[in-house]
Amino acid sequence: MGMDRFESTIDEELKQVAGGGSVFKAVRGEYGCGKTFLTRWLQDRAQRAGFVTAEVQISETETPLHRLETVYRRLIERLSSTEGDDGVFRTLIDGWFFALEEDVLAAGGAVAPAPEKLLEQTNELLEKRLAAINRVAPSFCMALRGYRNAQAEGESAVADGLIAWLGGQPNVGMESKRAAGIKGDVDHFAALGFLQGLLAVLRDSGRPGLVVVLDEVETLQRMRGDVRDKALNALRQLMDEIDSRRFPGLYLVITGTPSFFDSPQGIQRLPPLAQRLHVDFRGEPRFDNPRAVQLRLKPFDLNGLAEVGGRVRDIFADGSARNNRIRQLVDKAFLDRFADLITGKLGGKVGVAPRIFLKKLVADILDRIDQFPDFDPGRDYSPSLAPSELNEAESAAVPAGSVDDINIKV
């Protein structure tokens, strides 16, 4: 819910990317506003249009933003499409080689060339298609050629090593590298060239493009000052490269809290980046421009929570024999009261309420109505929150009943 105000703009931007353009978008909102949900809704929409997507969680230890080689590796590991989530990178590469072979066969007429000749002609076509990439990332093309030859010769271990190396994996065996004439690992500077190579492969395979989400970028604020500066500069570099059209077919999204965009410890620390991302949000949120570089998500309110509950109820009721009874007992008035009650037990913090609200709505109310003909939630149910069922954010929101209830960590 609430995505309709972005729908037309997102579709326009995806069409722009599919036509060879590129887009950078920042999503801002407090915790619980739905940043992750919006980006996954965007990815689902993009996949249904033929795009490949990837979501990368930025973290200080596992995926620091200033280590672009690590970001690239995580991106490859998390590639997803309508065909699945596992092994998508290798599937895309194999699909591209198959498309090259089809083009070679189509150009040769009715008589198919011998396998050796087909391999040679496919490699020649590969070089033509990646001529531009070869100038900035020649090792990407060398590894692709080596992977193709290893497959043709039945050297599965070499092929496995090269596809791993193309995906940015470290510690690939020397045998695979020697077979392709490459050295070392994919480093910070090669990562952007390899991303260009991936986009070229997708485009040549008939894919509209790639949507990449860098989630929780606000974690940069917790890093050491010098590391934070490097990460912010890497983000600025990515924006500049997108603006210069170095990445045709890329839709890049970052998410962060308002403090990341507005505080001195966030992007304001790097003025050139702050200027690129600046949007005036002083006006009424309903007049926000969805075409701007930043999208602002409004905090969840009680009406929104009840609306989500209504949609979940409708989905549940459609699969139940007690459809009418469920809709009658769990009407709008009940959902409004239930949302208010659960939120009240969480200190009035609506942003942390959705998970426990929906869990109790389904397991404690809808399931029981579905199973017991005489169950009436207004009469037979009184919700309570046990500490064991709450996550850390929900537990922190529960108001203390007395001084003795306050948990002081030492």
The tens-digit pLDDT sequence of the chain (410 residues) is: 778 889 999 999 999 999 999 999 999 998 778 898 899 999 999 999 999 999 999 998 889 999 999 999 999 999 999 988 777 999 999 999 888 888 888 887 666 778 788 888 888 888 888 887 888 889 999 999 999 899 989 999 999 999 999 999 998 999 999 999 999 999 988 999 999 999 999 998 899 999 999 998 998 888 888 889 999 999 999 999 999 999 999 999 999 999 999 999 899 999 999 999 999 998 888 899 999 999 999 877 899 899 999 999 999 999 998 999 999 999 999 999 999 999 999 998 888 888 899 999 999 999 999 999 999 999 999 989 999 998 888 888 898 764 345 454 54
Which CATH topology does 8-86+208-296 take?
Rossmann fold (3.40.50)
Q: Which residues pair with 295 in a beta bridge?
A: 27
Q: Where are the domains of the chain?
A: 8-86+208-296, 88-192, 302-398
State the alpha helices, DSSP H only, in 281-353.
Answer: 302-318, 323-329, 332-345
**Dihedral sign, Cα of residue 370, residue 376, residue 377, residue 380:** negative
Contacts of 334 (CB under 8 A, 6+ apart): 377, 378
Task: Give residue 253's identity as a one-letter amino acid code.
Answer: V
